[in-house]
Structure 1
Amino acid sequence: MKTIKFWQFMGSMDDSTDINIAPIIEEFESTHPGVKVDVQQLTWDNGLDKITTSFAAEEAPDVVELGNTWVTQFASQDVLLDLSDKVSSIKDQYVGWDGVTYDSKIYGVPWLLGTRALFYNKELFEQAGLDPEKAPMNWEELRAAAAQITENTGAKGFGIAAGEAETPWTQFSMFLWSNGGNFLNADETASALNEPAAVETLEYVQELSKVSLVAQDGMIGQEFAAGNVGMFISGAWNLRGLAQNAPDLKWGVAEIPVAPAGNSVSFSGGEILSISAKTEHPEEAYQFVEFMTSKQNAMKITEIATSVFPAFPGVEADPFFADKPEIAIFAKQVATAQNPPSLKAWQKISEEVTTAVEKAVLQQTSAAEVLQTASDNINKLLAR
């Protein structure tokens, strides 16, 4: 009997959480005689630390669930198995590969992806003289709707994140990518933040901030639930959160508004299944990864969680979403969502982006000026 050790965050092996993955594991074991899966559930409080320690001690599990922003950290340490050859035949069946790629090699398989979409308050739309059943479809409609809500109601039209480390650059990325811009050039050797697409994007966000609540992401979410913000960008976890915490609020969900460049691109966060480079059972471990990441088995988790989605294009056409249009929006948005660059220096690069965005929206400093400063600092980081 070969035992595959599997560390994961998504569910338990009993009914102690909403997501019980025991039936999926049992099905794998029944179809793969001679293989047993030893599952350990991690917590978000200390799971990353535990994974890091296990790799350092060369006691890592055979298969481990990683957040897509963690893959670079471990791939750069040569502790993950290179799956490039293994996945070559299935690459066109999945989305989200940029989140598992480091130095042109693939170190995991996308399992469950999450993304962001536009939430809007239908009551505030109606009060402002807007069609409550028609969300903004492009940048100009978004800016105009935000201004109209701000001018004609006691609420702020939109929510722009500031005052924290991650959300400002994450939110900016969606506007940037939609407008055809990027953080770095094509070969990731220099900043692209001083290019016209990026400057135009930040100038737009800066203008939008004048009719927005500029605050930490949590505060924006609370104010939206209280009916004091007309629109904000957030994840599918808010579908359940709003239903529970603001049951009387009338709201809708729409795709990220299209930029002048013609794109609607969201931010991709997600769960990846990777294999330890030290595994004694590489074939069985990969068979297990294939099984867990299949559309059929990933959908079983989606049907319970409703906030993460199988990493397959066109998944929104699954019958499960037929009577759930809000959830289907997120499933559709996953197909065009992007990840940040897979670089060891990304954490420091993202800090420069956040600093630039916050100076633009909090101090109304010139977008071109703050992005040039950010570019200079990023280029220094990349040169090291």
Structure 2
Amino acid sequence: MTKLGVWFLGLGFVFMVALGCSGSGGDSSGKTVVQFWQFWPTETLEPIITDFEAKHPSIDVEMQQLTWASGLEKITAAVAAGQPPDLCELGSTWFAKFASTGTLADVSTTAAELESQYLMWDACRYDGKTYGLPWLTGTRALFFNKSLLQEAGFASDEALKTWSDLIRVAQAIHNPTDQVYGYGLNSGERYIQFKKFMPYAWGNGGRVLSEDGKQCTINSPQVLEALRFYLELKESALVEKQEVLDQAFKDGRLGLMVSGAWMLRTIPKDAPELDFGVALVPRPAADKGTHASFGGGELLVTFGRSKEKEAALTLAKYLMEVDQAMAVARVQQSVLPAALGANKDPFFTENPMQGVFLEQLETAVFPPNHALWVEIEDVVDSWIEKAVYGKETPEKALNQACKEIDALLARQR
């Protein structure tokens, strides 16, 4: 049995009792019941599900909200126990872990019918087949405090185009004695560090794996240069968890940070007086590299052992439609529908800051669909964090990360 198989089996054994018998099927009214697991606040999706049930009176939807902290383990345990939901939202970086084990249902036929209407199909494919349907996508951009920039002598985001610009502005703002910090640098959270450091590496031409996915390349000169820049930036930074950085920015104590469009929803509510802007993630130099960022997506999948695949796909296709996906986008203000044409909605065209996120998506990098990507990302997180805290030199951190990643790849062969 492979290491991945043992991982699924072990989690299934540990969590089987906790999961209980949550299987799908018909209810006492004779309706088809679809178990739908997802990560959004329940109140965001409830109106959409209510409308779906009204239009499909033979289907009832039982929706369960997962958390990003424990959702992967819960889904894995359900699969191992033979009790997966009928429809499930999966983050794009988790997709290959499930597709590679044969646990997802092949939806290539459904995908062929929908392909011309949606983006992000590459994220839904594994080994030549389609195992997911594209729902929502998103990226991160650079937030800046206009008042702190002006106090430091910078007029606008024109001063934030390159790495050297970012260093210069962060240094000018940074005044820890007064609890004012130049840049917000993430630390201490799973699934975060990678998404905040790698944009600089990607923008400099670096990558984690070779083109064929068989060898680690994160110790390349391009990534090393990015890490040295990142550590220089750290000297003018508040190093904290995302929640703390977000609050410091809202309190007017943080000049610059890379974050998601969800801040466009929370800042007006929590800090209505804050004068801020959004810009592309800086590129290495005016004549070098790109304004890269992390690109992620939310996919809808059903499993080989799901009991109500047909009804689940009916629900998935409804959720994907531009009207329903835009309803989520308007409420959450952190994602873009995968449906073609959604970017022309007034919500995006009439909001310049949302427009920056659309532009940032054009140069965002989506991690590859690799069966071991979750483990690979964890390795990168761990060694970048060691470099950030000075426990290892940049060179050794990247070399050790590559050593561990190559060992993972070797075990897969």
Give the TM-score of the pair, scaled to structure 2: 0.80
Give the aligned partner of residue 270 of structure 2. Answer: 245
| 1:27 shift after superposition | 6.3
Q: Which residue of 2 aligns with 1:352?
A: 379
Maintained 8 Å contact 1:11/1:17 = yes
Query: Any conservation in 1 of the 2:78–2:84 contact (CA below 8 Å)?
Result: yes
Tell me whether 1:5 sits opposite 2:34 in the alignment. yes
Q: Which residue of 1 aligns with 2:161?
A: 137
1:158 deviates by 1.1
Counterpart in 2 of 1:110? 134
SS at match of 2:281: coil
2:34, 2:308 within 8 Å by CA — same for their partners in 1? Answer: no
Choose the corresponding residue for 2:294, options 255, 262, 267.
267
SS of the counterpart of 1:198?
helix
**Alpha-carbon distance in 1 for matches of 2:78, 2:132:** 18
1:38 aligns to 2:61 (yes or no): yes
The question of whether the paired residues in 1 share the 8 Å contact of 2:93 and 2:374 is answered with no
- Write the mapping of 1:14-93 to structure 2, written as runs, cut at 5 A: 20-26=47-53, 28-29=55-56, 35-44=58-67, 48=72, 50-88=74-112, 90-91=114-115, 93=117
Q: Deviations over 1:332-364 (max 9, x none)?
A: 433443333333433332233223322333218
CA displacement at 1:127 relative to structure 2? 0.2
Distance of aligned partners of 1:38 and 1:89 in 2 relative to their CA distance in 1, 3 Å threshold = closer
Closer/same/farther in 2, CA of residues 48 and 380 from structure 1, 3 Å limit: closer
The 3 A distance-change label for structure 1 pair 96 and 18 is closer
Matches within 5 A, 1:143-154: 143-150=167-174, 154=178
1:134-213 superposed matches below 5 A? 134=158, 136-150=160-174, 154=178, 155-213=180-238
Helix, strand or coil for the counterpart of 1:232? strand
Amino acid in structure 2 at the alignment position of 1:143: I
Letter in structure 2 aligned against 1:42? Q
Task: Pick the aligned partner of 2:398 from 347, 371, 376.
Answer: 371
How far, CA to CA, are the matches of 1:113 and 1:96 in structure 2?
8
C-alpha separation in 1, matches of 2:280 and 2:96: 29
Q: Distance in 2 between matches of 1:280 and 1:216?
A: 40
Please tell me the residue identity of whatever aligns with 1:138.
T
Structure 2 unmatched ranges of 5 or more: 1-29
Kept in 2, the 8 Å contact 1:128–1:152? The answer is no
Q: Distance in 1 between matches of 2:156 and 2:382?
A: 35
Please state how far the C-alpha of 1:120 moved relative to its aligned partner.
Answer: 0.4
> 2:124 matched to which residue of 1?
100
Shift of 1:4: 5.8
How far apart, in 2, do the equivalents of 1:251 and 1:368 lie?
36
- Determine the C-alpha separation between the residues in 2 that align with 1:267 and 1:137: 17
CA distance, structure 2, for counterparts of residue 252 and residue 103 of structure 1:
41
Matches within 5 A, 1:262-341: 262-279=289-306, 282-312=309-339, 315-341=342-368
**Which stretch of the first structure deviates more once superposed, 172-181 or 78-87?**
78-87
Q: In structure 2, what is the Cα distance between the partners aligned to 1:2 and 1:100? A: 30
Q: Which runs of 5+ in 1 are unaligned?
A: none
Contact 1:95 1:335 in 2 (8 A): no
Aligned partner of residue 205 in structure 2, secondary structure: coil
Percent identity over paired residues? 35
1:4–1:63 contact (8 Å) kept in structure 2: no
CA 1:307 to 1:62, structure 2 compared with 1: closer, same or farther past 3 Å?
Answer: same
Q: Which residue of 2 aligns with 1:362?
A: 389
SS in 2 for 1:74: helix
| Shift of residue 313, structure 1, vs aligned partner | 6.0
Superposition deviation, residue 182 in structure 1: 0.9
With the length of structure 1 as denominator, give the TM-score of the two structures.
0.86
* Contact 2:326–2:342 (Cα < 8 Å) also in 1: no
For residue 98 of structure 1, report the CA deviation from its aligned partner. Answer: 4.5
- For the residues of structure 1 that align with 2:283 and 2:342, how far apart are their CA atoms? 21
Q: Mark the CA change 1:149 to 1:8 in structure 2 (over 3 Å): closer, same or farther.
A: same
Whether the 8 Å CA contact 1:349–1:378 is kept in 2: the answer is yes
> Which amino acid in the other structure matches residue 173 of structure 1?
M
Secondary structure of 1:21 counterpart: helix
Is the 8 Å Cα contact of residues 51 and 60 (structure 1) preserved in structure 2?
A: yes
Helix, strand or coil at the partner of 1:271: strand
Q: CA deviation at 1:174?
A: 1.4
- Render the CA deviation track for 1:168-204: whole Å, top value 9, x for unaligned: 2221121122222111001111111122221221122
Aligned mates of 1:151, 1:172 — CA distance in 2: 23
Tell me the distance in 1 between the aligned counterparts of 2:310 and 2:220: 46
Structure 1 59/368 Cα, relative in aligned 2: closer, same or farther at 3 Å?
A: closer
Is contact 1:147–1:157 with CA below 8 Å preserved after alignment?
yes
Residue 315 of structure 1 contacts residue 331 of structure 1 at CA under 8 Å; is this kept in 2? no
Residues 133 and 143 of structure 1, relative CA distance in 2, 3 Å threshold: closer
